[in-house]
Amino acid sequence: MIDDEWRRWIAENLLLDASPEHVHAVLIEHGFEREHALCEIDSTLNSPYFLAGARLRNRLRKREWMFSVYGELNRMRRGADEIERHAGLSRDAFYEQFYFQNRPVIVTGMIDSWPARRRWNFDYFRARCARAEVEVQFGREADANYEINQPSHRRAMRFGDYVDLVERAGVTNDFYMTANNASRNRVALAALWDDVPPIGEYLDAAAADAGYFWFGPAGTKTPFHHDLTNNLMAQVIGRKRVLLVPFTDTAHMYNHLHCYSQVDGGALDVERFPSFEQAHVIECTLEPGELLFLPIGWWHYVEALDASVTMTYTSFLERNDFARTYSTYREL
């Protein structure tokens, strides 16, 4: 008997342009009677609900076409395969050329005076905050969906013990202190915050958002996703490899849930995800002392090449509250 779950599958695949013959063959392979399967497919194709879904599909395809044209025009720019690097980029240039135009950029020379650039190391962390109780994500390597399931990976421990763990870890993605742990860690590690004063050229120094502290060994990963805000990454210790894909290529990112992609940035598999070959992937390495502006909607995968510490910020001088109108947290 073809139940509602199979009917949903039939409708979804027909809307995605699978031929009725292919859908019928799959149903036969799963043991459904030939005539019954034909009847279900015919009923689906003639349903007013399916026809309404087809109209919505066409509207979405129109939008995807417009995005694809915009993406193609962007690729025609000189240097489109690299992230621009600028030394000491002025406020006006940053906002006019990158923030408002939704373009990433790497900026150098803006945090050279940070005390953190001179002070932060394992010994300093232990001396300042060894007894502070912090929250860390553990057990990530045993869970392919560690980012989606991150609430279940939280563990409390002393910061000094975590520093020891990172120092002797080698290469691993099994544990990582990220922005998802910020609510507890911002208070616990308050003694470190004076070492990373506000970047007043781009950020609101009076904002309540004092930034997010990311700390882990070489090998830590943040899977492909897009943010709901514009973000600024400040690399303090170590290097990070970053893969970026413009928001205009979202149709090729296998975005199945909320802001997440099924594509593994650490092991790209175009046989499993063939449409990803059409995505415009831009790679860069973020060095200590550099800032990376991540525009809202841009897909990014991040992997630490060394034990690293990164600060991230969302408190820009210009509007950055776009997430208040976002509602698509569910399965897509």
User: Which pLDDT score is estimated for 119?
Assistant: 98
What is the rounded CA–CA span in Å between residue 38 and residue 44?
10
What is the rounded CA–CA span in Å between residue 268 and residue 263?
7
Superfamily of domain 82-325: Cupin (2.60.120.650)
User: Which pLDDT score is estimated for 294?
Assistant: 98
DSSP 227-287: -SS-EEEEEEES-EEEEEE-GGGGGGS---BTTB-SS-TTS--TTTSGGGGGS--EEEEEP
Hunting for tokens 């007043």 — which residue is that? 200
The three-state (H, E, C) secondary structure of 143-195, written as one string: CCCCCCCHHHHEEEEEHHHHHHHHHCCCECCCEEECHHHHHHHHHHCHHHHHH
Tens of pLDDT, residue by residue over 43-75, are 999 999 999 999 999 999 999 999 999 999 999
Hunting for tokens 């459904």 — which residue is that? 32
User: Which pLDDT score is estimated for 332?
Assistant: 84
What is the rounded CA–CA span in Å between residue 296 and residue 101?
11
Alpha carbon separation from 174 to 99, 169, 218, 221, 286 (Å, rounded): 34, 10, 11, 9, 22
Rg (C-alpha) for the chain, rounded Å, is 23
Residues 6+ apart with CB under 8 A from 305: 218, 238, 239, 240, 241, 285
User: Which pLDDT score is estimated for 183?
Assistant: 86
Helix (H, G, I), strand (E, B) or coil at 231: strand
**Which helix (H) or strand (E) is 309 found in, with range?**
strand 308-313
Q: What percentage of the chain has pLDDT greater than the value 70?
A: 100
Tens of pLDDT, residue by residue over 104-133, are 999 999 999 999 999 999 999 999 999 999
Where, residue-wise, is CATH 2.60.120.650 in the chain?
82-325
What is the rounded CA–CA span in Å between residue 328 and residue 332?
8
DSSP state of 287: P
Q: pLDDT in tens for each of the 332 residues of the chain? A: 899 999 999 999 999 999 999 999 999 999 999 999 999 999 999 999 999 999 999 999 999 999 999 999 999 999 999 999 999 999 999 999 999 999 999 999 999 999 999 999 999 999 999 999 999 999 999 999 999 999 999 999 999 999 999 999 999 999 999 999 888 999 999 999 999 999 999 999 988 778 999 999 999 999 999 999 999 999 999 999 999 999 999 999 999 999 999 999 999 999 999 999 999 999 999 999 999 999 999 999 999 999 999 999 999 999 999 999 999 999 88
